[in-house]
Amino acid sequence: MKIVIIGSGYVGLVAGACFAETGNEVVCVDNNEAKIERLRKGIMPIYEPGLDVLVKTNLAAGRLSFTQDLSEAVRDADAAFIAVGTPPRATDGHADMKYVYAVARSLAEKATGDLVVVNKSTVPVGTGDEVERILRAAGRDIRFSVVSNPEFLREGVAINDFMRPDRIVIGSEDEWAREIISRIYDAGAFEGVPILQTSRRSAELLKYAANAFLAMKITFINEIADLCEAVGGDVRDVAHGIGLDSRIGEKFLNAGPGYGGSCFPKDTLAISKTARDYRVQLRTVETVIQVNEHRKRAMALRVVDACNGNVRGKTIAVLGLAFKADTDDMRDSPAIPVIQALQDFGAIVRAYDPEAMDNARAILGNVEYVNDPYDVANGADAVVVLTEWSAFRDLNLQKLRSRVRLPLLVDLRNIYDEEAVTEAGFEYWCIGRKNTGAPILSQSLAAE
């Protein structure tokens, strides 16, 4: 099948490379000239394990190409996937659909024959109807059909999530479009993957509901972690124990500094706004948003507690800036409010991240960036882990201890074993477990 993918961000690029890998002819379109030039040379705009190899192989095989020219790309295409951004509007938090609709208008004008238009971006319920209206309004003698085919990929494991998804959702109102999309997802490559056919609106809603549920699951375990600290439990055991119930499931029960990233914060906000527009209140989701917002800054108070109630003039070494491991993405990273709060309390912040420092510089200008996880700790009054990079798990804690001024380790990702940390001579503050340092208040109470 010949397909065009408009928008070469995370979703577009991964989908493009994977669809090419599974035998389709794929043209990726983006209006950023520099990005397209670099992609043609196999240089990735983002850090995503495995993506560069996949792009280079498929470029070389002639199945994948990059262009700025939508007219050329869409010629004789069977389907066009819209994978442009839907950022929250600064004014009201609603997903801003202007990029999606602009693409729809271009497609309406430039399509050369019957075309299935697929929304791959996470879009509010009803977007498919609006895209269809735009396509029809052009009055062309062409058959258009609009499909919602949401993407569930996680940064860092995006290729695997795309190639081996838990399910493929095809939300469509017509048989012809369903047939085209089913052929794009080659039966051989996606063997055994459940394909869920739904109405377009159900597919649109399903994506938001999935992300809201996962955000709720994380927020729930974060609150249970607070309770574990208060009553003397271990959140890892509690999470494991409840997760073994197949109705709950073990994944996404790692307590931490609050969820971040380009999806959960944006999508929880968007679904709650949409609900209100339809006179429905999603109270659970609204509460999740509030609790998570509050948690990120409250995490800074743990560091303050560990530093005996005062960080003024103290040097805090931060390990990890990205919103999670295996990405350079800083969007809505919990590291941002935590670091800003520490600076507000008078701390001097130094940081190291294996991949995200370039992106972090643009957001957190007054942080000293250090290119080595040990050097960042030189003379520090506390070390704070904010991202669960596996390289941090493998650090030589004795060596780290030899660099710091005060041996305080605040692990907001629970990556260390307390015995190893205390053996190395650190006092250890972590999440939802016994802390070896001075007893601290649960973060929720401390923040009030």
Please list the active-site residues: 263
Choose between 111 and 384: whose C-beta lies nearer to ligand UDX.
384
* Torsion sign (Cα): 136, 139, 145, 148: negative
Which segment (78-86, 104-112, 252-260, 309-317) binds ligand UDX by CB under 6 A?
A: 252-260
As a whole number of angstroms, the distance between CA 336 and CA 386 comes to: 10
Q: Is 81 in the site for ligand UDX (CB under 6 A)?
A: no
As beta bridge partners, residue 30 has: none
Choose between 155 and 418: whose C-beta lies nearer to ligand UDX.
155
Positions 173 through 212 that interact with ligand UDX (CB under 6 A): 211
Choose between 54 and 218: whose C-beta lies nearer to ligand UDX.
218
Binding residues for NAD(+): 30, 35, 86, 122, 155, 266, 331
Which segment (83-91, 145-153, 351-359, 417-425) binds ligand UDX by CB under 6 A?
A: 145-153
Taking CB under 6 A as the criterion, the residue among 3, 104, 107, 153 binding ligand UDX is 153
- What is the smallest separation between the CB atom of 144 and ligand UDX, expressed in angstroms? 26
The residue sitting closest to ligand UDX, measured at its beta carbon, is 263
Binding residues for substrate: 152-155, 207, 252-256, 260, 324
Q: Is 220 in the site for ligand UDX (CB under 6 A)?
A: no
Which segment (175-183, 240-248, 256-264, 274-282) binds ligand UDX by CB under 6 A?
A: 256-264
* Residue type for position 433: R
CB 120 within 8 A of CB 8: no
- What is the smallest separation between the CB atom of 214 and ligand UDX, expressed in angstroms? 6
Taking CB under 6 A as the criterion, the residue among 99, 101, 213, 252 binding ligand UDX is 252
- What is the smallest separation between the CB atom of 332 and ligand UDX, expressed in angstroms? 8
CB 399 within 8 A of CB 372: no
**SS3 string of the chain?**
CEEEEECCCHHHHHHHHHHHHCCCEEEEECCCHHHHHHHHCCCCCCCCCCHHHHHHHHHHCCCEEEECCHHHHHCCCCEEEECCCCCECCCCCCECCHHHHHHHHHHHHHCCCCEEEEECCCCCCCHHHHHHHHHHHCCCCCCEEEEECCCCCCCCCHHHHHHCCCCEEEECCCHHHHHHHHHHCCCCCCCCCCEEEECHHHHHHHHHHHHHHHHHHHHHHHHHHHHHHHHCCCHHHHHHHHHCCCCCCCCCCCCCCCCCCCCHHHHHHHHHHHHHHCCCCCHHHHHHHHHHHHHHHHHHHHHHHHCCCCCCCCEEEEECCCCCCCCCCCCCCCHHHHHHHHHHCCCEEEEECCCCHHHHHHHCCCCEECCCCCHHHCCCCEEEECCCCHHHHCCCHHHHHHHCCCCEEEECCCCCCHHHHHHCCCEEECCCCCCCCCCCCCHHHHHC
Q: Is 235 in the site for ligand UDX (CB under 6 A)?
A: no
Which segment (139-147, 247-255, 275-283, 361-369) binds ligand UDX by CB under 6 A?
A: 247-255
Site string for ligand UDX, 314-333 (x = CB under 6 A): ---------xx---------
Q: Is 354 in the site for ligand UDX (CB under 6 A)?
A: no
- What is the smallest separation between the CB atom of 260 and ligand UDX, expressed in angstroms? 4
Which segment (68-76, 168-176, 259-267, 335-343) binds ligand UDX by CB under 6 A?
A: 259-267
Taking CB under 6 A as the criterion, the residue among 78, 155, 381, 411 binding ligand UDX is 155
Q: Is 12 in the site for ligand UDX (CB under 6 A)?
A: no
Q: Is 407 in the site for ligand UDX (CB under 6 A)?
A: no
- What is the smallest separation between the CB atom of 229 and ligand UDX, expressed in angstroms? 16
Q: How many residues bind ligand UDX (CB under 6 A)?
A: 20
As a whole number of angstroms, the distance between CA 223 and CA 381 comes to: 28
Q: Is 263 in the site for ligand UDX (CB under 6 A)?
A: yes
Taking CB under 6 A as the criterion, the residue among 5, 74, 115, 253 binding ligand UDX is 253
| Interacting residue ranges for ligand UDX, rule: CB under 6 A | 151-155, 211, 214, 218, 252-254, 256, 259-264, 323-324
